[in-house]
Each structure stands twice: as C-alpha cells, then as structure tokens.
Chain A
Amino acid sequence: MRSHRGRVWTSRVALTLATLCALFGLGLLFLILYDIASHGFKSLSLSLLTEDPAGPMGGGGLKGAFLGQGLLTLVATLVGAPLGILAGTYLAEYGRDKRFAKMVLNLCDLAMSLPSIVVGIFVYSILVKPMGGFNGWAGAAALAIIMIPLVTRTTESMLAMVPWTLREAALALGSPYYKVIIQIVYRKAASGILTGVLLAIARIAGETAPLMFTSFNNNYFELNMNRPVPSITVSVYQYAGSPYEAWISQAWAAALVVTGVVLFLSVLGRLAVKWRS
C-alpha cells in the first residue's frame, strides 16, 4: 500500500483537475449567458413583444413570432404530454418485465438522442410535402415527436420508483388495477411526472431545426395552423444571419427572451419536486 502522503497528493491532483474541468464547463455556460444578456438587454424593449415586424431599418417587433412559438409549443404539449405519459404508464405498469416494453424503452432512449433536424425532415416528408406547403400543424407535430420519448422516459422512471408494495396494498383492499394507477401511483409520482413534462417543454421551446422544415416562418402575424406559423427560434436564425444591424440586435433580444423562458421552465420543473416533497 502506498504511503499516506502519496495518497493525499493523488487526491489533491484529482480534486484540482475535476474542479478545473467543472469550472471550464460552467465558465463556458456563463459566457454564453453573459453574451446573450449583454447584447440582448441593449435592444430589449416592450415593442419587441407587442409590434409586428418592420423593415431592416429598425423599429417593429416580433409579436407574431412569440405568439406563434407559444401556440406551436402548446399544441405540441397537448399532444405529446398525454401520449408520453400514457406510453410511460404502459411501460412501467402493464408492460413491466415484458420484452416488448424493454425494447420500446431502448428505442425511447435512442429517440431522445435523435438529432432534431432528422425529426424535422421526417415530418416534412409526411406532413409538409403531401399537404402542399409549410404549416403550423407540421411544426407542432415535429415538436411533439421530440417531446414524446422525453416524457415517456421520465414518466416510466418516476412510476417505477413508486414502491411496489404501495400498489399491492391498494390491490389488497380490492381496488382494480386501473384505479390503483390513477388514484395512488400517479399521485405518488405526480411531481416527478410534472417535472418531466416541464423539462420537455423547455427542451422543445428552444428548438429551431425541426421548425425550419415544417412550420417555417412568417413575417406576418399568422396563427392559422394551416399556414406557415412564425416562431422566435426561426426568426432569430433568420435575423441573426441578415446583414441589417437592427435585425441582428432584435435577434439578440429575442434570444434573450427565449433563453429566459427556457431557464424559467427548467427552474420551475426542479422546484416542483421540492414543493411536493
């Protein structure tokens, strides 16, 4: 066995390296946040949220894009969250120990790391091309597809954490299984499932790639889901790539707002766990 001193030094070196790596990673993160904040705050104004887009000479805002993004996210959540929760319920409750369920769970993990642009192209081929043009439904569908495996996975793991004896206790009282799931298991896992949904919303609220091929963008105020619906992320992409000073600074401001919303949702998701317990 090595000497005490030797081990102390090994420990110190390891600790220092680990701390440096953590600082490096966190430093980059804060650099990004600082960059967005410092540029964004300069051009952040109420008109960004309340006015329609204007020309490249300045003025105007991105009202439609904010509302459009909200609408797309809402529709995606209304479709994706229930589907994900039900799928997670099947995997954790009814499909437990079945080979099929294990396979689905593995595919779920795969789908979670699927590049979002692949989802965008997939939806383009089934919902944009056959329909004859970009539309809001396709955008919402692409976001929902990204969301489903995330919600499924968190729901499954949250339900699996509920002790099995709790279900047995309810069943032993003469409760049918579906009531046990709805009245006991869901209640026990509620905060975890809610967190999963919030984090999934946070994830899709910041997606650009799947929207570029589906809902695309619209310079006009448009909340008709059958037509291209404007979104913040795609607007940021387009404005930031433009040669106009005014658009670029609006892109910074919009990026700041999106980052703020995503951050807020993430924090809310994590707080939800604490509130319940």
Chain B
Amino acid sequence: MDKLARVSEVSQTEVKSEINPPLGQGLVKVTETIAKTTASEPLETPVTVEVKESPKPEKAALEAKPQPPKLLTIEKLNFYFGDHKVLKDVDLPILENSITSLIGPSGCGKTTLLRCFNRMHDLYPNNHYEGKIVMDGRNILDKGEDLIWLRSRLGMVFQKPTPFPMSVYDNIAYGLKLKKITNKPLVRELVEKSLKQANLWEEVKDRLKESALGLSGGQQQRLSIARSLAVSPAVLLFDEATSALDPISSAKIEEMMVELKKEVTMVVVTHNMQQAARISDYTALMWLGSLVEYGATTDIFTRPKMKMTEQYVAGNFG
C-alpha cells in the first residue's frame, strides 16, 4: 500500500516534466550500483546495472557528439481504445541511427505506443489517435496516410517468431516481391545481404530452400528480422523480440542490433532492464500511458531525474 501511494504521488507531481535532457554531460562510470533510494522499501537484492565494457569507447564517443537528428517526433500523442485513453500526451523524439528503449511495467502502454508507429492499431476497430507522429515533415497518423508504404518504411519484429510457411529464401524474398523487386540476381543478393545483417547467413546458407519452420526459435526470430531488413526500412520496431528466447539467442540478436545501428533506427520495447541498459542509446520510461522520463540510457540508469525512474530501474516497483 505504502509503495503504491508513493508511486502515484510521484506520478502526479513529476510525470512528463522533463523530456529530452541534454546529452554529453561527461562520461559515466561503466559499472554502477544503484543504491537503495528509499528507506521504507528494503531491496531484496541490490540491482547492478552493467553498461557493457566492450562498446564503451564507441558509446562514449557517441555521447560526446552532438545529438543525432530526429527521425520521428511524437507530439502530444493520445491514443484511445474506445473511450479508454491508453496513451496520454506522449512527447518523444526517436533519434536517427540509434536504439531507443521503451521500458515500464506491463500495461503501461509501451507496446501500444510502438504499434502507433506503423499504425498496427488500424487493423482493429474502435480506436483512434490524437496528436502527431512526424516523419519527414509529415504526420504519419493522418487518415490519408498510405499504410502499405508506411509499414514498409517501419518494420516490426514480434515477441514470437513469425516465420511464413515457406522456404527460408522465400521468407526473405516475400517483402521484395511486395515491392515488385523480381530481378532474380538482385533478389538473391538482397536475401544474402539481409541474412548476413541478421547474423543468420552462416547457419542457413546451405538450407535456403528448406522450410523456415524447421529453424530453431532463435534462428526464426533472426529470420523475421532479416525479412524486415530486406525491404530496407528506416526504422525497426522490436516488440519484446527476445523475451521468448534463451540467453544465447538473445545475446546474438542484441549483438546484431548494435551492429545494425549504422543502417537503421530501432525502437525496442523490453521488460529486460539489463537489455535496455546494454543496447540502447536512449531510454524512455512509461507509466500508466504517460511518459515519465526520457534521456540518454546512461543517465536514465545512473542519474535519473525522476524518483520514479530511479525506483523502476532499481526494480523497486513494477
């Protein structure tokens, strides 16, 4: 009870006051233990957030650089299922060639937000958007938006792998066919390229003609990613894409995502705090449909501005 009361108090006073904090406030210690912040709640285990050692120089360099340009800008986004408002005045930038994590407890609206980007909600009745998501100067939430075009620009990877019931090769070529790319050598080249990008080529190059349903779960997930990459999207949306996989398969996908930053911008919904800390450049915490805090991942995990963020990343609620 005490915890709940405190949390809602925090949310009333501090939600969405600080967005887009300045970057480049100096380097952060690689490993920091987040100390207990409130005396009333005993922490069962001290949570250690590790910012991985290896990508450190890159990360540091990235943070020292000026902020990359905004690819997508969410402005005052409200979203309703029927009369129920599930996203409340969300303002959030998605910066180019970076990974943005959306974290928050179940039901906080992070998946709902993710599915606004490629208008997945439009498949179902009784919901509507208010506000804007701006991409290339236009609001992609406009009624007249070409959803087929939009979805080929913003690919999506789901929680469960979704191999199509066809061969590995045809799975990747599927999106190319939709884009009327039928020149055989070109298709072959693009299939190989996207499988390589997804770190799957070596494992499947000898079984391209076999059914994709015979691959392991982790391979199927990388196949889904390769399939999205084949149509060269600007953004890839990951909806808890590694939560159904074993740690080794997850690690392979995380590694690949960091590699992919050069070519595509990623937005990742995750329940795995360590994953958010390891791979993302920016992190946004959501709670009850509102954005609590957004900032550079290192800031969110080591010196958050909001008490709520501090508690959430330390595992104290949610």
Contacts and interface: CB of A to CB of B under 8 A. Distances in A.
Contact of B231 (A166, A173, A184): A173
Interface stretch (B158-166, B267-275, B290-298, B310-318): B158-166
B97 interface: no
Contacts of A179: 178
Contacts of B118: 172
Chain B interface size band reads 20 to 34
Interface string B114-145: 00001010010100000000000000000000
B175 A173 contact: yes
Nearest to A173: B175
A179 B164 CA distance: 13
A172 B155 CA distance: 6
B112 interface: no
A240 interface: no
A176 B148 contact: yes
B193 interface: no
Contact of A168 (B149, B158, B178): B158
Interface in A139-175: 163, 165-166, 168-175
Nearest to A167: B123
B192 to A, nearest CB: 19
Contacts of A184: 164-165
Contacts of B165: 184, 187-188
Contacts of A172: 118, 120, 151, 155-156, 228
A11 interface: no
A106 interface: no
A16 interface: no
B228 A173 contact: yes
A19 B158 CA distance: 47
B166 A169 contact: no
Contacts of A176: 148
Interface string B209-234: 00000000000000010011001000
29 contacts: A165-B158, A165-B159, A165-B162, A166-B162, A166-B164, A168-B120, A168-B123, A168-B158, A168-B162, A169-B158, A169-B224, A170-B174, A171-B123, A172-B151, A172-B155, A172-B156, A172-B228, A173-B151, A173-B155, A173-B175, A174-B150, A174-B175, A174-B231, A175-B175, A175-B178, A176-B148, A183-B164, A184-B164, A187-B164
Given A172-B120, A173-B227, A187-B165, 5 more contacts: A168-B123, A171-B123, A173-B178, A175-B175, A176-B148
In order of increasing CB-CB distance, the 3 nearest A-B pairs are: A174-B152, A169-B162, A172-B156
